[in-house]
Structure 1
């Protein structure tokens, strides 16, 4: 091999290496572009709950005024997935949970006063839209069936925001009061807040430990509830949350909690199986839209629902436009950027070392040729 050929090969290899380095870093910038914004239109919908269907790759929402569950695509196309006219008139479809293993969606149903009391869990087949069961939730006092989570066995857990307890509905639709732990009522409530009436609210199932994480709106506390026997303990956090509503667990173990009262989203993590945890980041949300629910989809991307639910409660029936927005942790984004630069740095170091070695190789080959 001639000197010219050796140098040409070295230059070619270097060009290929730099090209690959640029190509590796470019997609990361694309992924970290502007957050996804979905605007959708549906007259008088006023959704409170949001769920993600990983099979069909679309969002699901309920409605304050309609006995419906709607699907919403990434492009904002709305379709009525389920319309259940057999439900009592004017009931509200609140929390939703997708049970992918059984191909169904679970919906907490509540009748807002002054309507006759009605609290139930409805299960619908995601493919046909057929109702699988409607389970009335037992209570001797005023109740609000608010949010729902589901475990891998198809058991559903529904929060009662007034009675501060949790119902359980098994895969067959049999309902019972599951947890009335005294932990739920041991913390003081500020009766001057507009959300003082609302106790247990958002709920998520942690499959790795077999327990539930439940937020309590009027105290700002979070509880860890054993999914077998219903025993509960207070999760010690480095700060209380203000009027927490929707709760979601990401696949990496991070918990996101949203509050429509203070327009805030918290990012929480724990190294102790949620005996205690820390709020490691929080972001301000848009103060218009009343964000009540948060979901996680593929690659742990998080989305918040702006359903203007408070307008619906106050009797507004004229709104048509609602939205779903992707939300990100600034601290996580900073960490990702640091790792990108670290990896590029390692790549450059490796490249320089490789170039030095190739230079030595070329010199040795030239000596042999000469």
Structure 2
């Protein structure tokens, strides 16, 4: 393979968005029992339906009391109704594939990480692995507020894959690219810079941070898909360190912070032969220098979980049929699953 081909494969694996399909593909809804239980107004298992949506990111919108999901295929952000139907809210031509998505309700904004891994309807030879950044949109209307092109901060890099973002209490956005040894900072007005650059963010083979969250302890926490480390970045000192955990989060993808300060971590087997489709809850008593496992589901029943949304009704884990879209035939499906974790 050429160097670019190797890097392309690395980013797809690192972002937990690629792998050959294993065995016969079955609908994600096949894992859902016929009798659906309900929990405080939301189903414990919600089968979403939209034409070839393939969401990788999910967030809870408190203003609508509904989930918002991204789309690796279409680059949109959609509202998920309680019957599983969807309605497109954000559809901007600059967003080729949308990945991590979050609601900043205090400022009425939707924050979207975007990239182009070559599987979107808008993908072209000129844009594949060449674009990446953050889009900010009006929460009520989906109208564009601004789009930040993060590739301009790395003019010598050959490939990009901005996969996730988070934000702090002041509205500052922090974004991660799984090809980079950096984490980026974007002000509420859209000014971008490198927050920190450190080889310790990578696994030594070019894979950087995938999922990233802001923690009220004053730290950013990120997970490296390649080696499974949970990484702590102090916002006060900019120091990068590895959180001592009971085991590595190999195949680590999405992270979310609960109201009690614990962290939900989602891993999968899509991009790593040693990864597992699992959900864990981690807790720390020392500012995330170390962490312990508070709860785990080591065999998640729906294939390919990518991330999780914390809601007033429980923590919902998304499986967006990415094993098909990033498989060898790039096939598509019209369903996805949101399943409540039950620690």
Q: TM-score, normalised by structure 2?
A: 0.78
Q: Following TM superposition, by how much is the alpha carbon of 1:38 offset from its aligned partner in structure 2, in angstroms?
A: 0.6
Picking from 272, 278, 284, the partner of 2:286 is: 272
Structure 2 Cα separation of the partners of residues 32 and 61 of structure 1: 21
- Whether the 8 Å CA contact 1:42–1:321 is kept in 2: the answer is yes
State whether residues 82 and 129 of structure 1, in contact with CA within 8 Å, keep that contact through their aligned partners in structure 2. yes
2:209 aligned to 197, 200, 203, which one? Answer: 200
Q: State the shift of 1:153 in Å.
A: 0.9
Q: Does 1:163 align with 2:171?
A: no
Structure 1 counterpart SS, 2:252: coil
Counterpart residue number, 1:74: 82
User: Counterpart of 2:161?
Assistant: 144
Runs of at least 5 residues in structure 1 that lack an aligned partner in the other structure: 1-29, 190-196, 330-370
Q: How many aligned positions are there?
A: 288
Residues 44 and 240 (structure 1 numbering): CA distance in 2 closer, same or farther, change over 3 Å? same
Provide closer, same or farther for how the CA distance between residues 177 and 71 of structure 1 changes in structure 2, counting only shifts above 3 A: same
Q: Shift of residue 103 of structure 1?
A: 0.8
Greater Rg by CA: 1
Question: How far apart are the structure 2 equivalents of 1:318 and 1:222?
Answer: 32
Q: Which has the higher helix share?
A: 1
Q: Please tell me whether residue 128 in structure 1 is matched to residue 141 in structure 2.
A: yes
1:174 is displaced (CA, Å) by 0.9
What is the match of residue 273 of structure 2?
Answer: none
TM-score using structure 1 length: 0.73
**Aligned equivalent of 1:220, options 228, 237, 243:** 228
Aligned to 1:305: 318
Q: Does 1:239 align with 2:239?
A: no
Matches within 5 A, 1:57-68: 57-68=65-76
- Equivalent-residue separation in structure 2 for 1:34 and 1:127 (angstroms): 22
* Maintained 8 Å contact 1:214/1:223: yes
Q: CA RMSD in A?
A: 2.3
Name the CA distance, whole Å, in 2 between partners of 1:319 and 1:155. 35
Where do residues 336-351 of structure 1 align in structure 2 (5 Å cutoff)?
A: none
Partner of residue 316, structure 1: 330
Q: Find out whether 1:98 has 2:103 as its counterpart.
A: yes
Q: What CA deviation, in whole Å up to 9, does each residue of 1:106-129 have, x standing for no partner?
A: 101101155530011100001121
Hey, what's the Cα distance between the residues in 1 that align with 2:66 and 2:277?
25
Q: Deviations over 1:141-199 (max 9, x none)?
A: 122101000111111111111113211111011111111124324x566xxxxxxx642
Contact 1:49–1:292 at 8 Å: present in 2 too? Answer: yes
Structure 2 residue runs of 5 or longer lacking an equivalent are 1-37, 119-124, 270-275
Aligned match of 1:55: 63
> 1:220-245: per-residue Cα shift (whole Å, max 9, x none)?
11111122453211111122122110
Distance 1:238 1:322 in 2: 31
Counterpart for residue 291 of structure 1: 305
> 1:263 and 1:32 mapped to 2: Cα distance?
26
| SS of residue matched to 2:114 | strand
CA distance in 2, matches of 1:265, 1:163: 26
User: Within 1, Cα distance between the matches of 2:311 and 2:277?
Assistant: 21
The answer to whether the 8 Å contact 1:52/1:297 transfers is: yes
> CA offsets, 1:21-56, max 9 Å, x none?
xxxxxxxxx969997111111011111111111221
CA distance in 1, matches of 2:284, 2:291: 4
Partners of 1:115 and 1:46 in 2: CA distance: 23
Check 1:278–1:286 CA distance in 2 against 1; reply closer, same or farther (3 A cut). Answer: closer
Return the structure number with greater relative CO, CA threshold 8 A, min gap 6: 2
- Output the CA distance in 2 between the equivalents of 1:156 and 1:311: 31
How many Å apart are 1:205 and its aligned residue? 0.7
Contact 1:35 1:327 in 2 (8 A): no
